[in-house]
Amino acid sequence: MPLNRRILIAASLSITFALAPLTGVFAASPAPAKGEHGMVVTAQHLASEVGIGVLKRGGNAVDAAVAVGYALAVVYPNAGNIGGGGFMTIRFKDGKSTFLDFRERAPLAATKTMYLDKDGNPVKGASLDGYLAVGVPGSVAGLEMAREKYGKLSRQDLMAPAIGYARDGFILNQGDVASFAGSADRLAKDPAAAAIFLKPDGKPYGIGERLVQPDLAASLVAISEKGTDAFYKGAIADAIVKASGAKGGILAKPDFEQYAVRELKPVTCTYRGYEITSSPPPSSGGVIICEILNVLEGYPLSYLGAGSAETVHVMVEAMRYAYVDRNSALGDPDFVDNPVSKLLDKAYAKDIRDKIDPFRAGVSQDLMPKGFGESKETTHYSIIDDEGNAVAVTYTLNGSFGAGVVADGTGILLNNEMDDFTQKPGVPNLYGLVQGEANAIQPKKTPLSSMSPTVVAKDGKPFMVIGSPGGSRIITITLEAIVNVIDHGMNIQEAIDAPRIHHQWLPDKVYVEPFGLSPDTEKLLAGMGYHLDLADQTWGQAAGILVGGKSLAEVEKGGGARYNGAIDSRAASGEALGY
Ligand code: DON
């Protein structure tokens, strides 16, 4: 059947069923949280309370983001961190925006082949476990720069809640303990990590038990009193360098002394009249989200319908083309000339659409560039304040509990971000990404990321704040939440909870969350040539805010709550809090 005819059928079907959402009573998801003055959405309820507390005592969204960043390092230790790095996208009340890159850098002694054996093959686990996997952390420098440049409150004020939770402890709930249990074997291998995150009998903590982290409290107090120097020039850096030297790592004091945050221009694009502001390289996130949206703009997604075979088809093809670009062309902007303007060009998106067969799946191998040889381990939070300043932060240790190591006396878990580099062209990393030379390891270089803290605006006003963990899937998780709101009319909670699909060029598979597609849709897609991977686990933990109503329909009608927050139903410990 020609595509146009199928679109017409889809259109008439959507008219028939348009009545269902209008009744508005039964939703597949709980109602979003409401707020008139501010909203904080994080993956751990105590951190959300910390953020709301900051807004209520006069801090702005950046202050709240800084306090939440430190709090998550204590109450969400599998991903919240001061031993890792991340990105902050800020859209100010006047419509200007900026981006802080406080992601890890490769140590000065890093080499392109540092994870390969003498025969040129990757050494299993070398980029994931232990000190050799650790990139120079950026979180402390990033949070402090955000506060100094754009915050209003003192460092001591913003760090106090985190220090309190580290020193006095906090009671673990079901969501908290799940992350410890899953990583117990790994944590047991490092005595300093085991002493913090496992009980004296070696077992993980249970529900209702209290986790106290006195060494981390001492490190946070030192940072609170002395600022970033306490981390990068003082005893903390010394302790990490010492442990690294003793246990097979290459971190040296100059790595810490030379660490610098980069303030960059965010990537921007438009999608059906909405303005997207997201992460530039060294993230691939913003560029690839925009590239996919530019391709999708040419298809009537709302008529094709959420979860239909045709919607999945065009989304997967757009993802396939965009991830080829991600994996072959992008890298740290200080080292690589990123073809950002080409990838963001609407004409380039049209070229991609012209290559998409309306009836057949593409073949990833056919897109191989010339010369080209999951999890809950990151966390995203979204904040908006009474003035309309919007902040999206995604930061990470990479794998759950990072490299699984803590330098004695610091209480600080260290990242394994080095795995995000290309170890060898063609060899997949932790997230199955097959990457090329642009992302090869070099001293002081930042590995390419997928983290996509994003703010969407409409008519010059903030509309949506969104992002997620999920490794290489962060990009499609964030994208799908945006499309679900703008094209499919879902409210912010439904848009985040809706089952996900993912394609990343290689492997050439469409990943589908449990119950993500109906069996007949699966059959249609298989008939078009798709290889479906029906996952038995969900992925991602998006955190989002919609401004002016819980859904686009409510925003357009007027009269909805000013701020509507949603934490992913997949995030067992998170909370959206408004006031
Ligand atoms: O920067 C990146 O793309 C990855 N290090 C993110 C890792 C991640 O999201 C893990 N959590 N699920």
In a domain, 374, yes or no: no
Q: Ligand 1: residues within 6 Å at CB?
A: 374-378, 396, 398, 417, 420, 449-451, 469-471, 474
Residue 371's pLDDT band, with cuts at 50, 70 and 90, is low
Where is the domain boundary, 424, 441, 473?
424
Same-domain check for residues 456 and 508: yes
- Are 407 and 475 in the same domain? no
Shared-domain flag, residues 136 and 164:
yes
Give the SS3 label for residue 461: strand
Find the range with the poorest average confidence among 19-23, 41-45, 452-456: 19-23
Q: What is the mean pLDDT of residues 551-567?
A: 97
Q: What is the pLDDT of residues 58-76, one digit of tens each?
A: 999 999 999 999 999 999 9
Least confidently predicted of 230-234, 313-317, 322-326, 428-432: 428-432
Q: What is the pLDDT of residue 430?
A: 87
Is 579 a domain residue?
A: no
Domain assignment present for residue 376? The answer is no
Q: How far is the CA of 314 from the centre of ligand 1 (A)?
A: 25
Q: How far is CA 47 from CA 42, 78, 180, 377, in A?
A: 7, 14, 18, 16
Same domain (yes/no): 72, 144: yes
Q: Are residues 347 and 414 in the same domain?
A: no
Q: For 212-217, what is the mean pLDDT?
A: 98
Kindly state whether residue 382 falls inside one of the protein's structural domains. Answer: no
- Indicate if the alpha-carbon torsion angle 340, 344, 347, 353 is positive or negative: positive
Q: Looking at residue 182, what is its pLDDT?
A: 85
Q: What are phi and psi of 411, to 5 degrees?
A: 70, 10
pLDDT of residue 16: 33
Q: Is residue 71 part of a domain?
A: yes
| 35 CA distance to ligand 1 middle (Å) | 30
Q: Average pLDDT over the chain, rounded to whole?
A: 93
User: Which residues does the annotation mark as catalytic?
Assistant: 378
Phi, psi for 509 (deg, rounded to 5):
-135, 150
* CATH code of the domain containing 287: 3.60.20.40
For the chain, the first-to-last Cα distance in angstroms comes to 52
Question: Which one of 424, 439, 465 terminates a domain?
Answer: 424
Q: Are strands 39-42 and 378-384 parallel, antiparallel or unpaired?
A: antiparallel
How many DSSP H helices and E strands does the chain contain?
21, 19
Domain extent for 269: 3-35+264-366+450-574
Pair 60, 31 in one domain: no
Q: Is pTM, for the whole model, over 0.85?
A: yes
Paired with 98 in beta bridges are 90
**371 Cβ contact partners less than 8 Å away, ≥ 6 residues apart:** none
Same domain, 212 and 342: no
Determine the residue of 81, 102, 380, 398 to mutate for testing ligand 1's pocket, defined as the one with the most ligand atoms within 8 A of the Cβ atom: 398
Mark whether 29 and 70 lie in a shared domain. Answer: no
358 and 415 co-located in one domain: no
State the angle between helix axes of 139-150 and 61-75 in degrees (0 to 180), rounded to the nearest 10.
160
Q: Give pLDDT, residue 49.
A: 98
Query: Which of 408, 424, 440 is where one domain is finished?
Result: 424
pLDDT of residue 32: 98
Residue range 415-430: average pLDDT?
Answer: 92
Alpha-carbon distances of 108 from 117, 235, 237, 255, 550, rounded to whole Å? 20, 20, 15, 6, 48
Does pLDDT of 9 surpass 60?
no
431 found inside a domain:
no
Same domain, 250 and 330: no
User: Do 483 and 533 fall within a single domain?
Assistant: yes
Characterize the bridge pairing of strands 170-171 and 97-102.
Answer: unpaired
* Closest ligand 1 atom number to CA of residue 450: 3
Q: How far is CA 67 from CA 143, 219, 351, in A?
A: 9, 15, 45
How many structural domains is the chain composed of? 2
Which residue carries 């476990």 as its tokens? 129
Cis omega (within 30 of 0) for bond into 214: no
Residue from 421, 431, 468 whose mutation best tests the ligand 1 pocket (most atoms within 8 A of CB): 431
pLDDT surpassing 60 at residue 237 = yes
Q: Are residues 75 and 151 in the same domain?
A: yes
Any domain includes 383: no
CA of 469 to the centre of ligand 1 (A): 6
